[in-house]
Amino acid sequence: MRFGFDSVLVANRGEIAARILRTVKAAGLRALLVAHEVDGETPAMLLADDVRMLSGETPVAAFLDGAQILEAAASMGAGAVHPGYGFLSENAAFARAVEAAGIVWIGPAPETIDLMGDKVSARRFVADRGFPVAPSAIEDDDPANFAANARLVGTPLLIKPSAGGGGKGMRIVRDLTLLEEEIATARSEGERYFGDGRLFVERYIENPRHIEVQVLGDGQGNAIHLFERECSLQRRFQKIVEEAPSPALSEAERNDICEAAAGIARACAYRGAGTVEFIYGTGSFYFLEMNTRLQVEHPVTEAITGVDLVAQQLAIASGSPLPAGQDGIVRAGHAIEARIYAEDPASGFAPTTGPVLRLVPPAGARFDAGLLEGGRVHASFDPMIAKLIVHAADREAALAAMDDALSRLTLLGLTTNIGYLRRLLADADVAAGRMHTGLIAEKPEIAAAPPLGDETRDALTALAALVVPDVARRLDAVPALHAMMGRWQN
């Protein structure tokens, strides 16, 4: 197809940068990238036709420097900017600056980012149009009586920053004597993470499911959904495993929640790819938030629908209509995504760093990674380093395929959560689909790695000697004192 631009700059890094660039190149467009030297050589850098290096006080600060990224875009002649997820992807000011520079912004209108990025305004917008939201109290409505109004909502309460996201600044309150203290803590965290200390509270649904719906909109009030994703396996509000479709929903519930998401997208004249998130429990669902960007877990939707979401983002940004009417979007089979983190589950999920000595993705599964063999994982960025995605005829087959793929994924040189993922997915409740957002916290024993037997330890040592040159050299090295003795023997 014909686009309104001939090149796309990906203002991101890691696995999402490589994933976007693959579709950009498949579309026949020039693939451009910004990068930071701390990453070294990455899959995205190998894919890009042109790369500009960023600098900053920290690597993260470099990717948050919109002015520097726009300078890079201008120097490379970028026709469009794709922000990926995280960093500047939901920054309305950056989106406006991109458009003001005469460059196409591959994302929703800045006004939509403003509307949905503020959790209070988003809730009010959704509620005013008749979509379900949980009982709540909003500080902006009555600042002087915020704590008193919060008490009227009843416990348990969830305090959330108005400008929040990713679980940061969220506090659960079950004891109202601690309410003022928790409000102060949440406000402080909101100011630290988002520069905005405004809060709201809502009734906390104990052990809910987290279900989100993928939507596409053309910016003219037309929108469709691409079904839902189950994202209930979380730790501290951070997703670990996602799947599609949700094993919890009946077809009637699926239709209701997906149509609600599409309705919200139509109401705000959404443009591009977005996600409407809900909490679900006891047959009811409530609006949680809308993410105005591509989600980390978008591959499971691509797997069950066959729709390339990045290709649709490019097309919609060029003014093309939606790919099909709602009846043209069909789902097939079951998909699961597991996030690979550089962390040590047995040590409280502490982030880890180290060299990537050996990396062999499993055949037959999709593996989206932001690192190469011979590279290094640093502490500069989020510890998620890759995603593993499988697709099968049904959920049981998909779980088996994921376990098989994880067992065949080789990633040596640093501690990861690969073994933990296998144990989590083998848990009886997970296997049966009895999941909720608090399940992982209830089962800390899954994090404990099983002890290695002597035979297994010896086998791993032998394997390391075969595939890791440094280990082999150390094993073969002759101690200096013995070397001085030459071939002398008694």
Residue 301, pLDDT score = 98
pLDDT at 229 over 90: yes
Greater model confidence, 160 or 96: 96
Instruction: Flag the least confident range among 105-114, 201-210, 227-236, 293-302.
Output: 201-210
Task: Tell me what the mean pLDDT of segment 122-145 comes to.
Answer: 91
**9-62: per-residue pLDDT in tens?**
999 999 999 999 999 999 999 999 999 999 999 999 999 999 999 999 999 999
- Per-residue pLDDT of 144-155, as tens digits, reads 899 999 999 989
pLDDT tens digits, residue range 157-207? Answer: 999 888 776 677 889 999 999 999 999 999 998 888 888 888 989 888 888
Q: Which CATH class is domain 209-447?
A: alpha beta
pLDDT of residue 141: 81
462's CB contacts (< 8 A; 6+ apart) are: none
Residue 322 corresponds to which amino acid? L
Q: How confident is the model at residue 488 (pLDDT cuts 50, 70, 90)?
A: low
Residue 400 has pLDDT above 70, yes or no: yes
Mention every residue, 6+ apart, whose C-beta is less than 8 A from residue 455. none
Q: 197 is written with which tokens?
A: 């200390």
| pLDDT tens profile 292-342 | 999 999 999 999 999 999 999 999 999 999 988 999 999 999 999 999 999
Number of Cα atoms under 13 Å in the Cβ half of residue 440: 23
- What CATH number does the domain located at 135-203 have? 3.30.1490.20
φ and ψ at residue 88, rounded to 5 degrees? -100, 15
pLDDT of residue 204: 86
Extract the tokens encoding 16.
């999402």
Kindly report the CATH class assigned to 7-106: alpha beta
Q: Say which residue, 481 or 194, is predicted with more confidence.
A: 194
Res 55: pLDDT? 97
Residues of the chain with CATH 3.30.470.20: 209-447
Tokens of 334: 């079951």
Is pLDDT at 70 greater than 80 in this prediction?
yes
How large a percentage of the chain has pLDDT more than 90?
80
Give the pLDDT score at 370: 95
| Per-residue pLDDT band at 395 (split at 50, 70, 90) | very high
- Summarize the confidence of residues 389-397 as an average pLDDT: 98
Kindly state the average pLDDT of the residues 67-75. Answer: 98
The confidence score (pLDDT) of residue 470 equals 67
How far, in Å, CA of 185 to CA of 191, rounded? Answer: 10
Q: For the chain, where do the domains classified as CATH 3.40.50.20 start and end?
A: 7-106
Taking a C-beta distance cutoff of 8 angstroms, is the pair 339, 377 a contact? no
Comparing C-alpha atoms, which of 294, 262, 226 is closest to residue 129?
262
Q: What is the pLDDT of residue 461?
A: 76
If you average pLDDT over every residue of the chain, what do you get? 93
Q: What is the pLDDT of residue 231?
A: 98
Confidence at 136, pLDDT banded by 50, 70, 90: confident
Question: Closest by alpha carbon to 232, among 204, 205, 207, 209?
Answer: 209
CA distance 120 to 190: 14
Q: Residue 478: its pLDDT value, please?
A: 66
489 pLDDT more than 60: no
